Structure 1
Amino acid sequence: MSLLRWLFVWQVARKELLSTLRDRRTLISTILMPLILIPVFTVGFPLLLGRAFSGQSQDRQLVGVIGTLPAALRAQLTQDAGGEVGVRLLPVTDALRAVQSGQVQAVLKVAGTLPTEAGSQSGTVQLYAKLGNLKAESGVISKLKSALSAYNASLVAAKLKERGLPASFLTPIRVQTLDASRPQEAASGQLAFIIPMFLLQFILAGSMATAIDSTAGEKERGTLEVLLVSPIRRSEVVVGKLLATTLTALTAAGFGLLGVLLSGVIGAVLLRGQIGAVAGQMGGRLNITPGSVAVLILMALSAALLLSALLIAVSIFARSYKEAQTYITPISLLIVLPAVGLQFADFIGRGAGLYSIPVVNAMVVILDIVKGVLNTPMALLAVVVNLVFTALLVLLAVRSFGREAVIFRN
């Protein structure tokens, strides 16, 4: 293509970019939202959960008791130890009603008499609590199980000492679990899957307004016919609109990447201490190498081209802006549904087939980068696949722009 033809392409792209820049809502969704939402969800949300979980250990929960607890066990339950506050015991008569009504957070029901030394007899304690409740699981249930386990251990230790046996007598083999994850993989936490979801969503949001306005919007305003009767080829019109749409998508992706890098800086500062340790298990501390950033940019570029071409190819069939939005809305499911599945990425085999699925491969590669397990050949395969599908969609769009039944479908 000669320089003059490329100038025609740029004129089309420039017109679409100027139209997009006039919309402040698009600028906000493209620039501000990535810088705000990504740090909020990758650092702020884990930090909030970390505070909530840590706060449970500092709360003195109310626990009902049915039956008689040994004095040593009562002391074990109510005492403060290891930076954790004990519970407060309250006699109740109906365990289920007491928990369900909120009178207490849990109930310990003693069946019979509990032993005060190991080997003499056995006893049973029934623990009533809302097992599906995250607050109860991380707070009172954890405390009660820990206290009961400690009481059992103290009885066994006393009996072993009485018999002149060491504490290791009942545990000849100790299991020591060590984390073999890469530092970056361990730091990414359980919420790492939201990063590729956000990046792809921002790319989609950034390209959507330009793609719809440059196709269905122009059809609705009656300006597309003027453009098509100009001395610009249909293919140049499509490439120009694709260029403008991709640039707005890449702008959103660029600010999304800044949001990811900003999350790493904020996470390094805020995720410290006891609360930070809990939050760090869920996500927030991102440490991406320069090489990974280069692959991330390449992956974002291929995803932006693919989504832009897809939006243009779909939007040109719409009669109006609103109809185009109706067509495009299901496309967001192509991002949301796989992103939800990324929560279970550890169960998914990382074969070439997975990296050959358009859009999905971009999220998988971005997740690999976040976790520090980037497979460069598979990432390059994903880029090539996205570019091939982009070319096919561009050909479809060029063909659609050449059909009067599509262009004048209003």
Structure 2
Amino acid sequence: MNKRMVWVVFQKEWTDLIRDKRTWISALLIPIVIVPLLFLLIGYSMSKVEEEARAYIPFAVSAGTAPELIRQLAVIPGAVRLHPADLVQAIKDGTIRVAVEADVNAAQQIERERTFNVKLLYDPTNQKSEYAEEQIAKAIEHYAEQLMDQRLQKTGLTREWLTPIKMESQSVASKEQEAGTMLASVIPLVLLMALASGGMAAAVDLIAGEKERGTMETLLAAPVRAADLLAAKLLIVMLMGTASALASLTSISFALASGQSAEGGIGTLAALLSPAAVCLLLMVVLLSAAMFAGLQLMISTLARTNKEAQTLMAPLVFAALVPSYILMPLNPIDIPAYVYALPLFNSVAVVKEICMGQIEPLHAGLAITSSVIYVSAAIYFAAHFFRKERIAIA
């Protein structure tokens, strides 16, 4: 491979590419702007729903409910008692958010110091109804504790007599690792999405776009080897994908740091990313970018038009989602060793280990080795079809 020729072609292609605003929008502007905006919108929406749910809690009670229980519910901040004819339908319509069905003889059971049943009706598909059910349940539990204390006092006992064992749970994970759990779910997904989509516009334009514009014939007729041409184009697509991934990583860190979960943002990443972890993360990003670049250039070579190339590349974005969602609920210690040898899955698994500060050298080595093999295969097939394209045009 002629390094000087690769550099010349790279400069030419890069100059043409940076003039295309669409490339920069898809590779950098979208991850830098859209990702933080999505986090802010989600946070604002959730806080708004909780604020509205806290301010107004319409509820209803069934006939015969003990007056003392009703008084306990009425003192809940924002609670308003309504009297709909059909409790279930009122919940479905949103007129009320929770209904309390107590035994008809609840008042008599309280006087006799007996147990009575209470059923809460709510709509789990409605977040406000879920919040109302939670507040009503807490109030009823508080009332039950009051009744228990009164009965214990009559017998000369205390609540401690009922609890001979006090149980306490203690976390063995550091605060950084606990915060890293959330990052380990989000960051692999964002990184692979950025890597899959960041270089897509460049890959489409560099081969399928040139074929559609009729400039590919001129480029292939130049005294430049096909390998040099492909290497230059591969570097450009890799660069765009890597830039998009790093932009996404930076934007998501600032988005987390600017919200309520500031501990899960830049501070956590800084605490978990040792120099070795940074190097490993960069290797994973570069290898994943190279694999996506090879696949995208191969597809772009096979496609006859810009539109066809974009259509054929759409499954790559879906392919980036699959491993992220499958491994999202798993802790790194529960991920089988063979996963670190699977394409894309290995990248997600290693990034999860990095985010949680649980890097296993054996897993990292297996993931890097397998990724190198997959990258080599992707570049080989891209070069194969690119050479066939050159022969066909010649």
- TM-score, normalised with respect to structure 1: 0.85
CA 1:404–1:106 in structure 2 vs 1: closer, same or farther (change >3 Å)? Answer: closer
1:365 corresponds to 2:353? no
CA 1:118–1:184 in structure 2 vs 1: closer, same or farther (change >3 Å)? Answer: farther
Give, as a single letter, the amino acid of the residue that structure 2 aligns with 1:235.
Answer: A
- Give the C-alpha shift of residue 219 in structure 1: 1.8
- Which deviates the most, 44-53 or 315-324? 44-53
1:30 alignment counterpart: 27
User: What SS does structure 2 have at the residue aligned with 1:344?
Assistant: coil
Question: Which residues in structure 2 correspond to 1:308-323 (within 5 Å)?
Answer: 308-323=293-308
Give, as a single letter, the amino acid of the residue that structure 2 aligns with 1:287.
Answer: T
1:225 corresponds to 2:217? yes
Cα distance in structure 2, aligned partners of 1:378 and 1:395: 26
- Give the C-alpha shift of residue 87 in structure 1: 1.8
- Give the C-alpha shift of residue 188 in structure 1: 4.1
Give, as a single letter, the amino acid of the residue that structure 1 aligns with 2:371.
Answer: N
Question: Which residues in structure 2 correspond to 1:282-293 (within 5 Å)?
Answer: 287-288=268-269, 289-291=273-275, 292-293=277-278
Retained in 1: the 8 A contact 2:69–2:140?
Answer: yes
| Count of residues in correspondence between the two structures | 389
1:134 corresponds to 2:115? no
CA 1:200–1:210 in structure 2 vs 1: closer, same or farther (change >3 Å)? Answer: same
- Give the C-alpha shift of residue 256 in structure 1: 2.0
Retained in 2: the 8 A contact 1:220–1:320?
Answer: yes
- Which deviates the most, 169-178 or 369-378? 369-378
Cα distance in structure 1, aligned partners of 2:229 and 2:324: 33
2:11 alignment counterpart: 14
CA 1:52–1:380 in structure 2 vs 1: closer, same or farther (change >3 Å)? Answer: farther
1:403 corresponds to 2:388? yes
User: What SS does structure 1 have at the residue aligned with 2:302?
Assistant: coil
User: What SS does structure 2 have at the residue aligned with 1:303?
Assistant: helix
User: What SS does structure 2 have at the residue aligned with 1:120?
Assistant: coil
1:394 alignment counterpart: 379
2:328 alignment counterpart: 343
Retained in 2: the 8 A contact 1:16–1:241?
Answer: yes
User: What SS does structure 1 have at the residue aligned with 2:61?
Assistant: strand
1:184 alignment counterpart: 176
Give, as a single letter, the amino acid of the residue that structure 1 aligns with 2:268.
Answer: N
CA 1:121–1:171 in structure 2 vs 1: closer, same or farther (change >3 Å)? Answer: same
CA 1:341–1:212 in structure 2 vs 1: closer, same or farther (change >3 Å)? Answer: same
- Give the C-alpha shift of residue 228 in structure 1: 2.2
User: What SS does structure 1 have at the residue aligned with 2:100?
Assistant: strand
1:173 corresponds to 2:169? no
- Which deviates the most, 374-383 or 230-239? 374-383
Ranges in structure 1 where 5+ consecutive residues have no aligned partner: 273-279
Corresponding residue to 1:378 among 363, 368, 372? 363
- Give the C-alpha shift of residue 126 in structure 1: 2.5
Corresponding residue to 2:312 among 316, 320, 327? 327
User: What SS does structure 1 have at the residue aligned with 2:120?
Assistant: strand
CA 1:66–1:406 in structure 2 vs 1: closer, same or farther (change >3 Å)? Answer: farther
Give, as a single letter, the amino acid of the residue that structure 1 aligns with 2:145.
Answer: A
Cα distance in structure 2, aligned partners of 1:97 and 1:231: 78
Deviations 1:26-55 (A, max 9, x none): 212222222223333456534642453355
- Give the C-alpha shift of residue 271 in structure 1: 4.2
2:75 alignment counterpart: 79
User: What SS does structure 2 have at the residue aligned with 1:397?
Assistant: helix
User: What SS does structure 2 have at the residue aligned with 1:109?
Assistant: strand
Cα distance in structure 2, aligned partners of 1:356 and 1:244: 27
Cα distance in structure 1, aligned partners of 2:170 and 2:68: 34
Cα distance in structure 1, aligned partners of 2:100 and 2:249: 51
| Percent identity for Structure 1 against Structure 2 | 26
Please state which structure has a larger fraction of its residues in helix: 2
Cα distance in structure 1, aligned partners of 2:129 and 2:182: 21
Retained in 1: the 8 A contact 2:192–2:321?
Answer: no
1:242 alignment counterpart: 234
2:154 alignment counterpart: 162
- Which deviates the most, 361-370 or 340-349? 340-349
CA 1:193–1:124 in structure 2 vs 1: closer, same or farther (change >3 Å)? Answer: same
Corresponding residue to 1:70 among 47, 54, 66? 66
Corresponding residue to 1:212 among 204, 207, 210? 204
- TM-score, normalised with respect to structure 2: 0.89
Corresponding residue to 1:98 among 50, 74, 90? 90
Cα distance in structure 2, aligned partners of 1:406 and 1:66: 82
Give, as a single letter, the amino acid of the residue that structure 2 aligns with 1:233.
Answer: R
Question: Which residues in structure 2 correspond to 1:52-67 (within 5 Å)?
Answer: 52-53=49-50, 56=53, 58-67=54-63
Cα distance in structure 2, aligned partners of 1:8 and 1:144: 73
- Which deviates the most, 44-53 or 153-162? 44-53
Retained in 1: the 8 A contact 2:65–2:103?
Answer: no
Cα distance in structure 2, aligned partners of 1:237 and 1:172: 77
Cα distance in structure 2, aligned partners of 1:133 and 1:48: 14
User: What SS does structure 1 have at the residue aligned with 2:167?
Assistant: coil
Cα distance in structure 2, aligned partners of 1:388 and 1:35: 31
Cα distance in structure 1, aligned partners of 2:266 and 2:99: 38
Give, as a single letter, the amino acid of the residue that structure 2 aligns with 1:388.
Answer: I
Cα distance in structure 1, aligned partners of 2:58 and 2:72: 15
Cα distance in structure 2, aligned partners of 1:123 and 1:347: 46
